[in-house]
A = this chain, B = another copy of it.
Amino acid sequence: MQVVSKNELDVLSADIFMSMGANVDDAKQAASVLTSADLRGVDSHGVSRLVGYVALWEAGRINMIPNVKIVREHKSTFTIDGDCGLGLVVAPRAMAIAIERAKVYGSGWGAVRNSNHFGVAGYHAMMALPHDMIGMAMTNATPFIPPTYSKEAMLGTNPIAYAFPTHQENPLVIDLATSSVARGKIEIAKREGKKIPKGWMVDKHGNDSQNVDELKDGGMLTPLGSLEELSSHKGYALGGLVDLLCGVLSGANYGKWVPPFVPYLPVLPDLPGKGLGHFVGAMEVEGFQDTHEFKLRMDHWIRSFKNAKRINKAQPVFVPGEKEFATEAERKVNGIPLNDKVASDLEVLKKKFGL
């Protein structure tokens, strides 16, 4: 287990993106999205993904010098074409425009098409916080979840993120995939030989399965709610909501046509749009309420939930995002641990690019 600082990871990641052809600003931006995830303990969306971005770029599916532009707009709303750029670059630009619009019109909302995987959704939502705004970010993603009663992967893990500014407490950051669990959680159980609960996955026939080996044989994740009797139709609807805003509204692909994050999976024919899509937004608190008053209310909300009566005295009640802030504080002091696989992947990339 290697331990590195965020700064080391930032430099290395930016060097890799520059080696792929990005300019220095874009490379630093893309690196920042990844390494912030590592710092905050969302290791699945950090530098471990670099090999994936490189593989997609080698397959000719990422444009490292995209001409990101607004293609349609009406005051608080706009659509961005990402010109097939890294989502790590395109989404922050869309979010920056949403924030500018919110300063002028109270809120700003951007649909983004022709983009790629944008990393961790919470990063983009949190961009609104220094502006005393509520931030929002969603993306559609590689299809890996069947709708209720279906055995066909039609939705990705389609995350929803919101960030709320606070006074003394840490900001409240919601960042959740609309699947029951992440694929990584099943892979960890497989590696550790642990049994998974009923409801985490289905087999290729769409039936619930606890055989983790089937994940590589057509198995799929379940929508939040897991199985039909526990209201998987709600998770399906939420994943669908994300797909409609990110894919249908923006002009990107949607449903089963969302281009997979890995180059070895085929892109379907007859694509209904361009690339994958995001939806981002920002709302200035001041248009709704005195900002200071709002932040005090946020603190009060957070404390009331953290102090909610516990089932078990030893098990705290968390608020959304609390664990990530704790990890961030700890890793700022002690560094970011990289597991052996990630460390060796990074070594391979360093050699590939002569870094």
Interface residues of A (CB under 8 A from B): 72-79, 104-107, 109, 111, 134, 146-152, 154, 160, 162, 164, 172, 174, 176-178, 180-181, 197, 199-200, 205-207, 224-226, 229-231, 233-238, 240-241, 243-245, 247-251, 254-256, 272-273, 283-289, 294, 297-298, 300-301, 304-305, 308-312, 315-320
Contact = CB atoms under 8 A, between A and B. Distances in A.
Nearest to A255: B304
Q: Which 7 A-B pairs have the closest CB atoms?
A: A74-B287, A77-B287, A77-B106, A74-B106, A206-B311, A152-B309, A150-B308
A248 B298 contact: yes
A106 to B, nearest CB: 4
Nearest to A247: B301
Which of A134, A180, A316 lies at the interface centre, i.e. has the most chain B CB atoms within 10 A of its CB?
Answer: A180
A318 B149 CA distance: 8
Nearest to A202: B311
A320 B75 contact: no
A34 to B, nearest CB: 23
Given A147-B305, A206-B311, 19 more contacts: A73-B106, A75-B76, A76-B107, A77-B283, A77-B287, A111-B289, A148-B317, A149-B316, A152-B308, A160-B238, A162-B244, A174-B240, A176-B238, A178-B234, A197-B230, A224-B225, A233-B318, A243-B301, A250-B289
Given A298-B248, A305-B240, A72 B149 contact: no
A107 B109 CA distance: 8
A196 to B, nearest CB: 9
Nearest to A229: B197
Contacts of A224: 224-225, 231, 234-235
A251 B319 CA distance: 20
A75 B272 contact: no
A310 B77 CA distance: 37
Given A77-B287, A310-B150, A174 B317 contact: no
Which of A106, A200, A205, A288 lies at the interface centre, i.e. has the most chain B CB atoms within 10 A of its CB?
Answer: A288
27 contacts: A72-B289, A74-B287, A75-B75, A76-B287, A77-B107, A77-B288, A79-B289, A105-B106, A109-B283, A111-B289, A149-B312, A150-B311, A151-B311, A160-B238, A174-B241, A176-B234, A176-B238, A177-B234, A180-B230, A233-B320, A236-B320, A240-B320, A244-B301, A248-B297, A249-B289, A250-B288, A255-B305
A226 B230 CA distance: 7
Contact of A315 (B149, B273, B300): B149
